[in-house]
Amino acid sequence: MPEEITALKKQWEDTILAPTISRYPERRDKFETTSGIPIERIYTPDDMPVDYIRDLGFPGQYPYTRGVQPTMYRGRLWTMRQYAGYATAEESNRRYKYLLEQGQTGLSVAFDLPTQIGYDSDHPLAEGEVGKVGVAISSLEDMEVLFDGIPLDKVSTSMTINAPAAVLLAMYIAVARKQGVAVEKLRGTVQNDILKEYVARGTYIFPPRPSMRLITDIFAYCKDNLPHWNTISISGYHIREAGSTAVQEVAFTLANAIAYVQAAIDAGLDVDEFAPRLSFFFNAHNNLFEEVAKFRAARRLWARIMKERFKARDPRSLMLRFHTQTAGCTLTAQQPDNNVVRVTLQALAAVLGGTQSLHTNSRDEALSLPTEASVQIALRTQQIIAHESSVADTVDPLAGSYFVERLTNEIEERAVDYIRRIDDMGGVLAAIERGFIQQEIQNSAYAYQRAVERGQQIVVGVNEFVVDEETPLHRLKVDPAVGQRQIERLRALKARRDNARVASLLDRLEEAALGTDNLMPIILECVEAYCTLGEICDVLRGVFGEYHAPAI
């Protein structure tokens, strides 16, 4: 059969293709994916390894190439989230309620920069940044306002927070208790992924070793207390936003995941005690087929890593469950309506790739925080894909495509090669210290930008199909007085709380940090006594120190 296919292909090339090419020369010298994988003109069965289709498996079956659930979207659609949060807790609370009214099925919280790096709104370094890129949360009081009127036993909440993840998770637990919700019923995710901060995003506080301790403390605490909570969202999203290729996104994300699993095992946890609650977070770009293949390759590679490297036995430990966000870095300020089309293609790739959760960016995000109208369009994009396109009616609809299966194999093989190189360096922490991962991402980002500037990579409305007219947009602006209102609220809280109890608890936190006990219980006590985020992080800074990125 392979010989027959090869002969037929040769006949087609000689009799049909060659005369056509002579009349219509191809548009480019070479065609390739964003990862540099060559794209052949056509694909046939002889591009598939022997018995590949037989070994592909079925959805819900190891190695989960075709999906982690047997029924996928025929049983339940993906969770539709819109990443949101800005200004004060009151304003963000209104946006969350609006989104839930529009049919959103899960919340996704964006925190402002001071919150992300463990500073209260009244800290000198917070000036000018309060409420700008997310909601300002300095204390349990802010968190109570943020979720006022939103029953936490009815929604799934994702929180994009890393270095101070333990503190924000403790605040969420405390709000649930105040609502009378049993904490074992809480569902959601805390990002809690510090390694990608060192290479791609920069919102770190502590050095790697104590940061890993905080992460594994969350693993252990949630194992015993929050059984439905995803304890980490290992993020390739920010790696891709920093300029990586699709292959690098898979490789560096899974390399980070390997480090987290090993750290938890080293801390005394059995792999099957925590691995079922690991989750992942990927980017969705414009190259539709590469993105679909990327998701399938990542799922299969992770299953093999967990089974072969870490000897996991629970099938849930082998399943790569992931949230997807469409690519912010592809959005353009020029002709912003074009972003609706980009986001639609990216969302479609995520769904065809089998995502469990999805955020769609808004058309105006290259210019400002999104307006309610723009957010509604972004959410409607997901709903139209879910209910009108029929792509969710069958599981893994592109399976068996010669092109998609070949790409899936190529991405997996190239990602494995990267992971081997990182292992040879001594693991991902050593690779970060050497600047290897950072340099690889920077090289890819530079190559892409050069391709755009040379016109080799067309970006519609930017370097081709450009128009002069300016598109008016209603920009959502944060009130400059937000910072002052936050400071006043914080001062009032500190004046009326039991400050003697606060001081005692912060002393106990310091003592615990100097030891080896799990820090989550004492952090929760501090939060419930209205110790602030900054106070808690300052204590930990005093014990752990602060991380300073090395010069590369």
Backbone angles phi, psi at 383, to 5 degrees: -65, -35
Asked if residue 487 belongs to a domain, the reply is no
Cβ–Cβ contacts within 10 Å for residue 276, how many?
A: 20
**pLDDT digit string, tens, across residues 32-84:** 999 999 999 988 887 887 777 777 889 999 999 999 999 999 999 999 998 88
Asked if residue 474 belongs to a domain, the reply is no
CATH number of the domain at 156, please. 3.20.20.240
Q: Given the structure tokens 């079922």, which residue do they identify? A: 276
Q: Given the structure tokens 């090669």, which residue do they identify? A: 417
For 188, which DSSP code? E
**In this predicted structure, what is the pLDDT of residue 475?**
63
Asked if residue 31 belongs to a domain, the reply is no
Measured between alpha carbons, how far is residue 551 from residues 204, 433, 438, 482 in Å?
A: 16, 10, 11, 36
Q: Does 190 have pLDDT greater than 90?
A: yes
Q: Does 147 have pLDDT greater than 80?
A: yes
Find the domain containing 391 and state its range.
54-453
Q: Does 369 have pLDDT greater than 90?
A: no
Q: Is the dihedral of CA 534, 540, 543, 544 positive or negative?
A: negative
Answering whether pTM is above 0.85, one says yes
C-alpha–C-alpha distance, residues 39 and 114, integer Å: 45
**In this predicted structure, what is the pLDDT of residue 472?**
66
**pLDDT digit string, tens, across residues 521-543:** 999 999 999 999 999 999 999 99
C-alpha–C-alpha distance, residues 65 and 446, integer Å: 32
Asked if 184 and 226 touch (Cβ cutoff 8 Å), the reply is yes
**pLDDT digit string, tens, across residues 234-250:** 999 999 999 999 999 99
- Total count of domains within the chain: 1
Asked if residue 490 belongs to a domain, the reply is no
Asked if residue 263 belongs to a domain, the reply is yes
**pLDDT digit string, tens, across residues 431-482:** 999 999 999 999 999 999 999 999 999 999 999 999 987 666 666 666 778 8
Asked if residue 193 belongs to a domain, the reply is yes
Asked if residue 549 belongs to a domain, the reply is no
Q: What whole-number percentage of the chain has pLDDT above 70? A: 98
- Length, in residues, of the chain: 552
**pLDDT digit string, tens, across residues 393-407:** 999 999 999 999 999
